[in-house]
Structure 1
């Protein structure tokens, strides 16, 4: 009898836990407002660049507990900074793996959400495109960076529309040695507005 009770309780607990865990996929746009900087050993080539629109996509998990939820995600993110030097356009393209972990709460019968939390970024590619000419990946870079997100969103059944502002807690530096430009480094700090659409299964 005792064993039967334990089996029944375990089944009930697992079923309750499963109801509070939702897996999903998401994709969207990132609006990179960071101007960045390109710095050579002889000074600054272009202190103020301009940001652009990038994209991200990946998977997410929402775990509900005690009226709150925790939502870790795994996202591929790509964006760039644009610079001009001597009439040439230089695009510094960056790719990274983002791991945001947001804590949030829903209101209005689950329709509206607010959230905040850290985002850990694994920076794995920094390439340069100068007027259609692609140069190799950075020789060295800050492989890990840390930011913070705050945002809101709406939930319509299994559909989730999410808007977040992300700011970096430090600069990310990449170093290059290219014969055409010499030795230099790029700097950027996350300053992004992320708009995504997701679906929980």
Structure 2
């Protein structure tokens, strides 16, 4: 099997397994306010960030689609840009313990530091409670909440479901576009899209 064919099959399977972007949490609904912990063990809740826009990025460092956006620096740039506008960025790992891709909080923190990532904080969701409540299907499933904690975007990070870094420049970045519109007080032109990435291994 050629490398190109293998990559194509990975992309196809990942897009199909990610499924449609119909989140368990519907547009306009308030995100669940459950007790969570960051990679340092600090307790927090989504309601701690009321009054600010929030991005939730589902992450799995073992996923080639995640590596595409981090090795290229695309995700780090998006994080820095969003935070510079006062947006809270939460990187979430819901991979179950026992999975081949499972990382401890310390390992997750180390990986983010190695990538020079700058989320506001990184959350560990080993139980999968937050992921299931939000309807997160894949690593790279993205969500945007408005200052009231209501869902205004659910779907892919951008418009090209590919593991190739060269596609980043020609893709429409739905998260950047959505934040620009939301911060300007405008309705989002794309409020949902089909997420792509590696299916989340829940407990």
Q: TM-score, normalised by structure 1?
A: 0.24
Structure with the higher helix share, 1 or 2: 2
Larger Rg: 1
TM-score (norm. length: structure 2) = 0.24
Which structure's residues are more often strand, by fraction?
Answer: 1
Greater RCO (Cα-Cα under 8 Å, separation 6 or more):
2
